[in-house]
Structure 1
Amino acid sequence: MRDGTPSTRDFGQQLRNLRVRAALSQEALSHAAGVSVRALADMERGRTRGPQRRTVQALAEALGLDDAEAAGLEQSAAAGRPRPKAATAPSGSGVLGLPRDIRDFTARGPALDRLLELADDAGTDGPAVTVVAGQPGLGKTAFAVHAAHRLAPQFPDGQFALDLHGMDPEPATPRDALARLLGAVGVADAAIPSGTDDRAGLWRALAGERRMLLLLDNAAGEDQVGPLLPATGPSLTIVTSRHALAGLESVHRIDLALLRREEAVELLTRIIGPARVRAEAQAARDLADLCGHLPLAVRIAGQRLLSRPHERLSKLVDRLTAEGRRLDGLQAGNLQVRAAFALSYRQLPDGSRTLLRRAALAAGADFSPGTAALLAGSTYDEAVARAEELTDAGLLQSAPDAERYRFHDLLRLYAAELVDTEDGPEVRAAALARTADRILRRATAAALHFDVDHEQNASHLDPGPGQAPTGRDEARAWLEAERAQWLAALRQAYDAGHYRQVLDAARAMHWFSDLNQHWEQWVEVFRHSSDAARALGSRQEEAVHLNYLAWAYNLCVHDPHAALTAADGALTAARECADELEQGWALGYAAGALYRLGRPEEAMERLREAVRCLGSQESPQGRLAELTTLNTLGTLLRHTGRAAEALDVHRRSERICRAGVPGRTDELIALYLAVVRQQIGNDLAALERWDEAETPLRQALAAFDEAQMPVWSEQARLDLGQVLGAMGHPEARATLLTARDALAELRSPRRTEAAEALAALGEAGAGADTADRVGRRP
């Protein structure tokens, strides 16, 4: 040592000697002191000129040093720390120290781990930069500040935090931000260059010499952030922004998600204490849900409760349950969810504001650019551009695999408020009416792709033929994706008295409904259509749509009482207008309901009457109705112990299918044949002719799979699995497992049968529920 002052190299050597004396590896000391292995290595090699006092204290405690040894280690470290320059910092600059850490910070473990790993690697390939972006209220700043405090020991040359005021009307300019950063590292006011480029150059030169941590909070955009990023050296920069900052290159990204429910409850617990949460555990979970698991909302709810120690959690839950009061309830002092959203909203151009407001009127959990364009009164391309802009601003979330968008629940409430205050009731009503009309017309045209009478002539009915779904695959994808939208449009048309439009849409849907038999909303669709027919005074159409409704009650919601009422109503209407086809359908649907109600003899009587009624029908619709009724009759015979008679009836159906039905496509008849084959397989299984049963069941399953009809496929798979089990076939277990899981997902009543078949693979089972094999009408 010269003149008694220890060199910076002495600290590293001293630390290494103390570690070796304590018989600790770098990894062990790292764990004990909470200092990264990389930081320890830099200290021992002399790369770190002098760690901060708290880092030295942590090392001393981990090494078990006495007071004198700890003081010596601190003296060595202090000698290596950079001394402040004898210069006056620019006015107003100050030292940009880290904000206070949040004591009750909760969750975010994986994101913190990724940031800690990034800090360890800082300097390996140049300075590290991470962007923390996302919607308002996710706790981006809280996360960044907490992470910065955790990482501070690894950056002994300083930790600086700078608010860039990205949500203010006039965000900080790069020039002003650079002046503050230069002042923070000791550059005299007079020495700071006047130009932005010169300031950026000086900042990069000084930053490249330091191992420091820089927190740039609330960034407005890439142009603001770019000049502030170090170009060389071992620094780490954390940038937070409500915008995606997609233009920043060579940066790491951390996308904070909403809290999980248990994490939201944990945050609430840390704020108000475990006793209150334990006392009202369900209310705490409900409160987390009503806050949408958004950290800001949960924090506000917690702060509100903390200021009211005697208020029950359930009281706040009751207040927030009313959607119109939820945002009012989510405020505590100057913390307001609505205010956080408003900051971002005010930054948007007029077109994006309009789309954000109007998109809140869309039905369902998400919406397409097409729906947003109709609501906003814009073109499709403009809606796409606006929605992407809103996604980048953190106000919408885009689907990972489709061009669809969704709101956070609280943001939707906020946007809906804006419709009322900025658009008004007349504009709102006009937007909804315009959208409902076009959506329902498109849904009608798309559904007709599945109607054998209209399939070739469907596209011209679409309100915008150039954008209409073409072909069955596109039509099905659109109808499934836009289910909530067209159902809402149907409701609106009914409420507005547009009964003919409702009837046209529902009739177009009935073939498509077979592909999605598990959708419970078919009851609503056909209830509206039957009511619309009654309002128009059309008894024939009322009979048709009551039969559709009976089908939906039987197979979609498994309510045989309601199905029987609807079928009896259809029968009465059909007899009044002498429509024998609808009489046959009504008798068949009533039979299915009666069987489910445990009245098999009455069901058999209705089916025989239906066969007599339909036998004289020569139209394609009549022949298909006869096929369906015969299939149902055969199934009922099997379930009443008359499997041989059932097989004869189903062989008759098979002959009709093989002969073909004039006016109907081969593809359609192939589906009817698949139904017949499934029933023949079950008849043979009931007769214990297992080997013969396997082939028709496999054929039926293949046909349903090819037609993408999961409700039908999985029941056929269950029947096949039971036959394979009776045969001792090695595929039996896998087949039954697949069927059980799929039937459970489809909410099929046969899921119990699948579970029982799995529990007793040696038994073939007594066959399918007749109710699930009642076919559909053309």
Structure 2
Amino acid sequence: MRDGTPSNADYGTPSPRDDGAPSIQDNGTPSDAPPTAGNGTPPTEDFGQRLRRLRTRAGLSQEALSHAAQVSVRALADMERGRTRGPQRRTVQALAEALGLDEGEAAGLEGAAALGRPRPRAATGPAGPGPLALPRDIQDFTARGPALARLLDLARDAAGGRPVVSVVAGQPGLGKTAFAVHAAHLLAPHFPDGQFALDLHGMDPEPTTPRDALARLLGALGVADAALPAGTDDRAGLWRSLVGDRRVLLLLDNAADEAQVAPLLPGTGPSLTLVTSRHALTGLESVHRADLALLRREEAVELLTRIIGPDRVRAEAQAARDLADLCGHLPLAVRIAGQRLLGRPHERLGKLVARLAAEGRRLDGLQAGSLRVRAAFALSYRQLPPDSRTLLRRAALAAGADFSPETGALLAGLSHDEAVARAEELTDAGLLQSDAAAERYRFHDLLRLYAAELAETEDGPEVRDAALDRTADWMLRRATAAALHFDVDHERTAAQADPDPDTAPTGRDEARAWLEAERAQWLAALRRAHEAGRHRQVLDTADAMHWFSDINQHWEQWVEVFQRSADAARALGSRREEAVHLNYLAWAYNLCVHDPRAALTSADAALTAARDCGDGLQEGWALGYGAGALSRLGRPEEAQERLRGAARRLAAQESPQGRLAELTVLNSLGTLLRQTGRAAEALDIHRRSERICRAGIPGRTKELIALYLAVARQQIGNDLAALERWQEAEAPLRQALAAFEAAQMPAWAAPARLDLGRALGAVGHPEARQTLLAARADLAVLRSPRRTEADAALTALDRTTAGT
């Protein structure tokens, strides 16, 4: 427990996850961009549309094709009109032969037909949008027919009950993600139990760890943050157990290596996993491989045609072929060139061909093999207005996977409204991707590299550092002001002014939303301040954060935050502040990363610093945090000794902070005593906590004290139950449950309901079974390990009832 919020690990409040949609990495167009076909027809073809196009291209009438393929004219008409969406394979083969299709076109025609054939069983319930939902499909997707047909066969294999994995690999810009997203949408009906997409950020300096990826996946299945196992192996085991019998489709985009992917793969069941990577991932065994190749020239021209329309391509057919060649038949380069032409409807293709050839000489650094991808990037960049160019290159300096308009505005030196307008312009140009739900933007990773290089070459170190310093200072001031919304001393504290009061969060909900959304930015700002020696700013921010940190206890970066603040206090020579922040660090090691050895080291250092400066409050906290670490290390006697010492030290403190710390220590001591078979002593301790709460604590709100009182009463009920004084246990447990429910704290209420149900069952109360059933349901929603206790309590109750 931190000063102000009960810290027992069983009383953690679950926090919302930051479930941003995964990014698109290889296609050059944001997944949520509108269709870009300019020919007035739908940008994708069903079987009938594809058949009609191929027949027209071959110069055949329906009668002529009917004769050549031995298919009736009426049947052909029904196919082309969409009345027959999925003809049999042998019919498609006959049509392909009659049309003179090559292998790839024939496979594409068969794939379109297969999608129109009867589906597997329908889902028992709709799988609506949710965390890690598939990105929007690329509507002008082109080619890849054989590869799509092979994935359709794999989907049928998965329906047989064994998990299937397909690795989509190849050089940058081949459209691996576009292919995987398109395939996922086509195959989605075969996986009615859910489709999930997760960007693994394999090209980032710090790719997503398997542990964090598993947290996102488990969260998408409804596992509460507070119920996540600590270790990667335990998380992987839980993930596999939850999806083992489900027909799910999993898209793992932009994988770094085999070690990152392997823990995420389902072990059993009818699932299909698509993995995209710029590496071959040869270490993954028993997987299908779809190594995408460059487009053929005619396919690249077809993609260009779908983007800008057939009329312009037909008018300059040779220029279109030359443009495809200059783009190296790379889908990303073709797409960027096509989008540039789409934005200039009167520009001739020949003019772009000439300019692209000239620009290519300047962009030798970033290549895909012999392909000059940066030429297309540079053309798009140079056509932008000055402010948009500034935003593009400065936004690449932002921390994290995405950035907000305010971050872009700070880095580029623009107003918020100007930054939004420029970001939308960049999104329309295909240079940024906008979030489907929030006002946030992200780069394709190649474009981020390109933009960051521009910031280096066009802005220079001085301008770039000034932009980063300006942004870091603003972010820390906003983060400090936002975090103080959670500080119980806020009304009596001269809070650091928000840098922009007109847009500042106005309450706890808004403050929490901002702090969570901008976590990567303010943490990067804290690092920058620490590295620049701005120690007071680091301490002020960390001080403001310590109450907010209780709400998001699962964030592992609290270790970094409080390590840096402890270092800052040491650099300033303040032993009292060093003790405070070493105590915060011990808390983070204990409860955020579950490292009791490091927690004990920090707590001991805090104890030394507190005694050096004569701070009894911090000495009490240090003893308490050290006791928590010792208990977790299996050393209960030493833990009890420290807790008793902490209680004595804190009892002498007269401040409100001292009373809250004393309550924390007393509750922890009593719980430890009960767990070691000394329930009577525990009851005395928890009664003492109750008396302190009833007397009230000056300067602390009734709502805060009510939570402490509820914790004490729950522990009193458990102490009485351990003494088999079941009837006496009922009242305090009911009071605790009512308080947690009134405060809308389900993660605290569910265990209290379980404790109450067991007490009611012991006395044969008629509400016992319903209470235990409700507790089990609540704990299941939270994915709490205490659900097994509810199962055992229900089993014991059933046996008792049957015996009676």
Shorter-chain TM band:
0.5 to 0.7
Amino acid at match of 1:627: L
Amino acid at match of 1:331: A
1:53 correspondence with 2:53: no
Query: Does the CA-based 8 Å contact 1:554-1:592 persist in structure 2?
Result: yes
2:631 corresponds to which residue? 595
Instruction: Give the Cα separation in 2 of the matches to 1:342 and 1:401.
Output: 30
The verdict on how the C-alpha distance between 1:260 and 1:343 changes in structure 2, with shifts beyond 3 A counting, is farther
Query: Does the CA-based 8 Å contact 2:366-2:374 persist in structure 1?
Result: no
The verdict on how the C-alpha distance between 1:693 and 1:282 changes in structure 2, with shifts beyond 3 A counting, is farther
SS in structure 1 of the partner of residue 700 of structure 2:
coil
The verdict on how the C-alpha distance between 1:686 and 1:350 changes in structure 2, with shifts beyond 3 A counting, is farther
The verdict on how the C-alpha distance between 1:331 and 1:734 changes in structure 2, with shifts beyond 3 A counting, is farther
Amino acid at match of 2:772: A
Q: Calculate the TM-score normalised by the size of structure 2.
A: 0.56
The verdict on how the C-alpha distance between 1:111 and 1:605 changes in structure 2, with shifts beyond 3 A counting, is farther
Query: Does the CA-based 8 Å contact 2:254-2:277 persist in structure 1?
Result: no
2:448 corresponds to which residue? 412
1:481 correspondence with 2:517: yes
What do the CA deviations read for 1:369-389 (whole angstroms, capped 9, x no partner)? 111111111111111222222
2:549 corresponds to which residue? 513
1:739 correspondence with 2:738: no
The verdict on how the C-alpha distance between 1:621 and 1:393 changes in structure 2, with shifts beyond 3 A counting, is same
Q: 1:331 aligns with which of 364, 368, 376?
A: 368
Instruction: Give the Cα separation in 2 of the matches to 1:674 and 1:417.
Output: 57
Amino acid at match of 1:673: L
Instruction: Give the Cα separation in 2 of the matches to 1:271 and 1:617.
Output: 59
Instruction: Give the Cα separation in 2 of the matches to 1:361 and 1:111.
Output: 47
Shift of 1:763: 5.8
Greater relative contact order, per chain length (Cα 8 Å cut-off, separation 6+): 2
Shift of 1:479: 1.3
Instruction: Give the Cα separation in 2 of the matches to 1:655 and 1:742.
Output: 32
1:730 corresponds to which residue? 770
What do the CA deviations read for 1:199-238 (whole angstroms, capped 9, x no partner)? xxxxxxxxxxxxxxxxxxxxxxxxxxxxxxxxxxxxxxxx
Q: 1:454 aligns with which of 450, 473, 490?
A: 490
Farther-moved stretch of structure 1 (366-375 vs 559-568):
366-375
- Alignment of structure 1 residues 147-546 onto 2, 5 Å: 261=251, 331-334=368-371, 336-455=372-491, 461-546=497-582
Query: Does the CA-based 8 Å contact 1:361-1:416 persist in structure 2?
Result: yes
The verdict on how the C-alpha distance between 1:412 and 1:694 changes in structure 2, with shifts beyond 3 A counting, is farther
1:556 corresponds to which residue? 592
The verdict on how the C-alpha distance between 1:536 and 1:263 changes in structure 2, with shifts beyond 3 A counting, is closer
Q: 2:795 aligns with which of 762, 767, 770?
A: 762
Instruction: Give the Cα separation in 1 of the matches to 2:436 and 2:490.
Output: 35
Query: Does the CA-based 8 Å contact 1:101-1:146 persist in structure 2?
Result: no
Shift of 1:358: 1.3
The verdict on how the C-alpha distance between 1:108 and 1:490 changes in structure 2, with shifts beyond 3 A counting, is farther
The verdict on how the C-alpha distance between 1:351 and 1:507 changes in structure 2, with shifts beyond 3 A counting, is same
Shift of 1:509: 1.0
Amino acid at match of 1:730: Q
- Alignment of structure 1 residues 46-195 onto 2, 5 Å: 52-53=59-60, 55-56=62-63, 59-60=66-67, 63=70, 142-143=141-142
Shift of 1:752: 3.7
Shift of 1:281: 5.3
Shift of 1:462: 1.3
Shift of 1:391: 2.5
Instruction: Give the Cα separation in 2 of the matches to 1:503 and 1:731.
Output: 46
Shift of 1:465: 2.0
Task: Work out which of the two has the higher radius of gyration on C-alpha atoms and give 1 or 2.
Answer: 1
Instruction: Give the Cα separation in 1 of the matches to 2:742 and 2:555.
Output: 20
Shift of 1:590: 0.8
Amino acid at match of 2:66: L
1:671 correspondence with 2:707: yes
> What percent identity do the matched residue pairs reach?
64
Query: Does the CA-based 8 Å contact 1:718-1:740 persist in structure 2?
Result: no
Query: Does the CA-based 8 Å contact 1:261-1:285 persist in structure 2?
Result: no
Unaligned runs of 5+ in 2: 1-45, 78-100, 117-135, 150-196, 200-248, 256-271, 293-302, 305-326, 334-362, 798-804
Shift of 1:723: 6.1
Amino acid at match of 2:711: V
Amino acid at match of 1:561: R
Query: Does the CA-based 8 Å contact 1:571-1:583 persist in structure 2?
Result: yes
Instruction: Give the Cα separation in 1 of the matches to 2:562 and 2:111.
Output: 50
Query: Does the CA-based 8 Å contact 1:104-1:267 persist in structure 2?
Result: no
- The CA RMSD over aligned residues, in Å, is 5.0
2:39 corresponds to which residue? none
Query: Does the CA-based 8 Å contact 1:267-1:298 persist in structure 2?
Result: no
Amino acid at match of 1:514: D
SS in structure 1 of the partner of residue 770 of structure 2:
coil
2:344 corresponds to which residue? none
Q: Calculate the TM-score normalised by the size of structure 1.
A: 0.58
Shift of 1:589: 0.8
Query: Does the CA-based 8 Å contact 1:570-1:583 persist in structure 2?
Result: yes
Amino acid at match of 2:617: L
The verdict on how the C-alpha distance between 1:600 and 1:345 changes in structure 2, with shifts beyond 3 A counting, is same
The verdict on how the C-alpha distance between 1:399 and 1:264 changes in structure 2, with shifts beyond 3 A counting, is closer
Instruction: Give the Cα separation in 1 of the matches to 2:620 and 2:283.
Output: 61
The verdict on how the C-alpha distance between 1:269 and 1:492 changes in structure 2, with shifts beyond 3 A counting, is closer
Shift of 1:563: 0.8
